[in-house]
Structure 1
Amino acid sequence: MFDKTAGSYVAELLREWKVNHIYGMPGDSINEMMEELRKEESIRFIQVRHEETGALAAAAYSKLTGKIGVCLSIAGPGAVHLLNGLYDAQKDKTPVLAIVGQVNSQLVGTDTFQEIKMESLFEEVAVYNRHVQRAEQLPDMLNQAIRTAYAEKGPAVLIVSGDLFSTKIKHEKPLTSAIFSRPNIRASEEDLQDALKLLNDAKKPVILAGKGAKGGTAEVLALAEKLKAPLIASFPAKGIIPDDHPHNLGQLGKLGTDPAEQAMQETDLLILAGTAFPYRAYLPADVAAIQIDTDPKVIGKYYPVLLGLVGELAPTATWLTAKLTEKEDAFLLTYQQKREQWHDTLQQDMNTETHQLQPQQVIAEVQRILQEDAIVSLDVGSITLWAARYLQLNNQQLVVSAWLGTMGCGLPGAIAGKLAYPDKQVVALLGDGGFSMGMQDFVTAVKYDLPMILVVFNNQKLQLIEHEQQEMGNKSTQVDLANIDFAAFAHACGGEGYTAKNRDELRQALIKAKVSRKPVIIDVFVEDSTPPS
């Protein structure tokens, strides 16, 4: 008996997978699916103005929550627009589902309007990439797509001709279910014993922790404290490893600190904890290393480690902490003193009064109103460098396009953050170049009543690109930006907007933004300062 459409099964299964919202824009090849979503009260459709925003927001939602983010697009141009967000999910290893419309099934292969070779388009980006041939396949393929996205921590793409959503099917003997069983991976006893010996023998151990520490922060901190080891956090781990912890020397590399770089060069044992840190130039030339990760493919991928511990970070760190011999703390104390000196220098930078606002002064003022459990969405550009150095995150969550490094990720991240955590403060730090790439979706935040504070660092320049050109010995070319009145734009969209050209104006704008019930843009004019290096 054929009594339900394939699209209705999709809506039901998404609900079973605990999907509560989808980002997208309606259109011809998904309009039948839109009809099914209209009937599904438990799933909120977030209409974006550009599909790239939807895909980036889905990726950000997944990074923040660990749950799958979902986006929906039409065939052809809509599908192409998804690519940037899906690559962001792939590179940052987070599960996303893209349901992508295709031209009607009887027209596939005829080169009709908006038809492109969809599977070829998504082949390199997707961990699951399938074109549904028959409506009866759709429910089981949906389950397979979501399960694969979770298992392989990446984007799954399900391509569906528009007419299949409205086709009535019977689904009496399903092949799959809406369940994902998460593996619990433990390192072998032999490897743990070998690691214990290396740790006990080390005189100057250093832990470099990555985003794999999420959910295991307490265990990593306990290990560092028992080892008397300085801690360095990869940039995606900022906030996961609290900036105010006395062992934390900050980030490493171009976004990093002098104490972190110095400790890394002096260590006699490097512990890579939940990170495959890819910047070899910032790691020691030749030192013994232990790497802890659930993925055996990344063990030794960017550094020739002596020992790999394939297992969950939290229980591995707990086992090692319990059996370690207490260390002397001379090495740690040296770097804690360097850390304090470094922080004093940063504080002086932020406190210094200047005629024009400096980026670090803006961050200092944002820090004053930042709530303890806030979500911070960070765009890519020189703002990334300023935030890495001067922004202090402890219990707050940071979301950023870390490995793809795409400009324009800040606003989608803020939208996702507010949908994921409606009761938390959401603050986005944006460059004027990055924000203007997708600023049209500020009206999406207004439409769905998503209060947030967007701080736009406006220097009317692609500052980081100018700096890169100069470092190469080239003259600055095509980096100046025509100015936009971002505060006026905010008002035009129905939000609130403020302009700040000095510290007092900025402080007053932030106070108002903090209590506003609307999305707010603060257009902050900052001096064209050389990014920190």
Structure 2
Amino acid sequence: MSHVMAGEAATQILKDWNVDHIYGMPGDSINEFVEYLRQEKNEIDFIQVRHEEVGALAASAYAKLTGNIGACLSIGGPGAIHLLNGLYDAKADGAPVLVLAGQVPTTEIGMDAFQEVDLTRLFDDVAVFNQRVPTPDSFPKLLNQAIRSAYTYNGVAVLVLPDNITSHMVKEETEQTSSIYSVPMSRPADSDVKRAVTSIENATRPVILAGNGTKKARQELEKFAEKIKAPIIFTLPSKGVLADTHPYNLGQLGDLGTKPAYHAVQDADILIMIGTSYPYRDYLPESTPAIQIDNNPDVIGKRYPVHIGLAGDTGETLTLLLEEIQTNSNSEFLNHSQREKMKWDRHLEEVVNNSKEPLKAPYVISQLSQVIEDHATVSVDVGNVTVWMARYFPFTHHKFVISSWMATMGCGLPGAIAGKLAYPDRQSIAVCGDGGFSMIMHDFLTALKYELPIMVVILNNSQIAMITSEQEEAGNPSYETNLENMDFALFAEACGGVGYRVDHYKEVSSVFEKASKEVKPVIVDVRIKDEKAQPGHTHQYE
């Protein structure tokens, strides 16, 4: 039996699982493995980030965008600690991510060595798989199991790797493992399907609340909605499953949602939750009968008292319902919801037209949408910018990515970097507030280093505006939410990129047109007047 280095066997495992790039920062306790990655640089790209948090956020975004595992690495101690924010984002949003965290040599573990941290304890809460590699022989086998676990549980898999492990000879036994992952296609019990069919057929005001679980069942969802004559409301992370302009799409629910969506849910006589465990109870009705479809039985009824649960694959379950259910001939409620959505759209158009001078976010976003291609990746940061993009950017076939449940500021730029690596022939846009972008702005240099022509649009109001609103809603004056003014266009140029600054509405269209044609990373710093992001259902219009 032939022998190879443990690091060589492990990189082969990565290639077998189609891991073609990894984000990270080299350093003393991971350098031995980085050398094996260098030897495989034609097949596994190493993306050197300026901060490990950005690497973890990018790995998480890549997994969300593609469904493929994202990978990141770090040294032990401070580098591994830096990863945590991005890893919790992956955990919260159910994204498969692999972590290779360096550690002091096995001979020094437990001896308070330089930068030694108990890493398995550190990662215990965030990981679905969390092991320290004990021997060189176990490295490739544990790596294989880590990747499999990340896919199985849609979460973070961590291998803590003492630096002396990789450069030992091991038996070449990779044929005893497999990189094949078989996805189960579960289906609900027939009795539950029959009960659901009866409930839906007896309803006159059905409403669908669709989540991430519908991303791979777009056609089934559309056919189902058409058959039962139900409007669809999408959760934020599932935005783009169907185009915002689709006649059955009422938009989002919640603070960043639409008024028609809010009232449709409140008026429904049956709520059909598909692929979502929607967490905001205040926006759901008090006691409307509900059906929940999810491939994870653990979340059925977790946040809303559903009366029928359908535990199964979304596409498979919708197909079963389509086969059994009768076409609804009553479209009165659907037609009413569509008329209300048309009123909402006209209202948004009026808001845009009144947002020109002083310059406000709705107008900026309406102009941005004119230069963004239909299949672009759009990475949105957290804050008021989330509301503005959800409300005023018309998503069609775009790839949308955000930190949803963790809602961590600073996710916009890493998402755009990941989007360009995932889909190099498509536009990749980050839309950020000045607060979120300034948290990770150093990694604009990463886009430059790897020649990733992304566009970063910064809605710059010189404050953390959403926190200002939260403080004032609590009855307190705003405190320490103002930010120092910075010219991000000059920053872009100092980095070697392209920068544009926009101060007036007359400049917006032409600048976006120029920026969209740049072949280098570009920042568009748009100075806007702060405006409170009101929940959709509080808007007043005719």
Q: Confirm or deny: 8 A CA contact 1:129 1:156 kept in the other structure.
A: yes
Q: CA deviation at 1:175?
A: 4.7
Q: CA deviation at 1:322?
A: 3.2
Q: Residue 35 of structure 2 aligns with which residue? A: 35
Q: Distance in 2 between matches of 1:461 and 1:36?
A: 45
Q: Deviations over 1:42-68 (max 9, x none)?
A: 000000000000000000000000000
Q: Confirm or deny: 8 A CA contact 1:219 1:317 kept in the other structure.
A: yes
Q: CA deviation at 1:493?
A: 1.0
Q: Confirm or deny: 8 A CA contact 1:140 1:174 kept in the other structure.
A: no
Among 461, 478, 495, the alignment partner of 2:480 is 478
Q: Residue 210 of structure 1 aligns with which residue? A: 211
Among 402, 405, 409, the alignment partner of 1:403 is 405
Q: CA deviation at 1:179?
A: 2.0
1:6 and 2:6 matched: yes
Unaligned runs of 5+ in 1: none
Instruction: Tell me which amino acid in the other structure corresponds to 1:36.
Output: Y
Q: Confirm or deny: 8 A CA contact 1:187 1:311 kept in the other structure.
A: yes
Q: Residue 467 of structure 1 aligns with which residue? A: 469
Q: Distance in 1 between matches of 2:476 and 2:355?
A: 32
Q: CA deviation at 1:485?
A: 1.0
Q: Confirm or deny: 8 A CA contact 2:377 2:398 kept in the other structure.
A: yes
1:455 and 2:489 matched: no
Among 445, 449, 462, the alignment partner of 2:447 is 445
Instruction: Tell me which amino acid in the other structure corresponds to 1:402.
Output: S
**Sequence identity percentage:** 49
1:330 and 2:323 matched: no
- Classify 1:512/1:139 alpha carbon distance in 2 versus 1 (closer, same or farther; 3 Å): same
Q: Confirm or deny: 8 A CA contact 1:136 1:171 kept in the other structure.
A: no
Map 1:487-526 onto structure 2 (within 5 A): 487-526=489-528
Instruction: Tell me which amino acid in the other structure corresponds to 2:48.
Output: Q
- Classify 1:416/1:167 alpha carbon distance in 2 versus 1 (closer, same or farther; 3 Å): same
Q: Confirm or deny: 8 A CA contact 1:7 1:165 kept in the other structure.
A: yes
Q: CA deviation at 1:532?
A: 2.6
Map 1:300-311 onto structure 2 (within 5 A): 300-311=301-312
Q: Confirm or deny: 8 A CA contact 1:486 1:523 kept in the other structure.
A: yes
Q: Distance in 2 between matches of 1:532 and 1:450?
A: 35
Q: CA deviation at 1:351?
A: 1.9
SS in 2 for 1:158: strand
Q: Residue 540 of structure 2 aligns with which residue? A: none
Instruction: Tell me which amino acid in the other structure corresponds to 2:240.
Output: G
- Classify 1:131/1:255 alpha carbon distance in 2 versus 1 (closer, same or farther; 3 Å): same
- Classify 1:405/1:518 alpha carbon distance in 2 versus 1 (closer, same or farther; 3 Å): same
Instruction: Tell me which amino acid in the other structure corresponds to 1:418.
Output: K
Q: Distance in 1 between matches of 2:357 and 2:144?
A: 58
* TM-score using structure 2 length: 0.97
Q: Distance in 2 between matches of 1:152 and 1:223?
A: 28
Q: Confirm or deny: 8 A CA contact 1:59 1:88 kept in the other structure.
A: yes
Among 370, 379, 386, the alignment partner of 1:368 is 370
Q: Deviations over 1:54-83 (max 9, x none)?
A: 000000000000000000100000000000
SS in 2 for 1:107: coil
Q: Confirm or deny: 8 A CA contact 1:376 1:414 kept in the other structure.
A: yes
Q: Residue 187 of structure 1 aligns with which residue? A: 188
Q: Deviations over 1:122-148 (max 9, x none)?
A: 000000000111111001000110000
Q: CA deviation at 1:2?
A: 7.2
Q: Deviations over 1:16-46 (max 9, x none)?
A: 1000100000000111111101111200000
Q: Deviations over 1:369-403 (max 9, x none)?
A: 11110110000011011111111101111100000
Q: Confirm or deny: 8 A CA contact 1:195 1:307 kept in the other structure.
A: yes
SS in 2 for 1:253: coil
Q: Confirm or deny: 8 A CA contact 2:382 2:408 kept in the other structure.
A: yes
Q: Confirm or deny: 8 A CA contact 2:356 2:505 kept in the other structure.
A: no
Q: Distance in 1 between matches of 2:514 and 2:357?
A: 24
Instruction: Tell me which amino acid in the other structure corresponds to 2:140.
Output: P
Q: CA deviation at 1:504?
A: 2.4
Map 1:318-357 onto structure 2 (within 5 A): 318-327=319-328, 328-352=330-354, 354-357=356-359
1:72 and 2:90 matched: no
Q: Distance in 1 between matches of 2:45 and 2:356?
A: 47
Q: Confirm or deny: 8 A CA contact 1:411 1:435 kept in the other structure.
A: yes
Q: CA deviation at 1:174?
A: 5.8
Q: CA deviation at 1:250?
A: 0.7
Unaligned runs of 5+ in 2: 536-542
SS in 2 for 1:518: coil
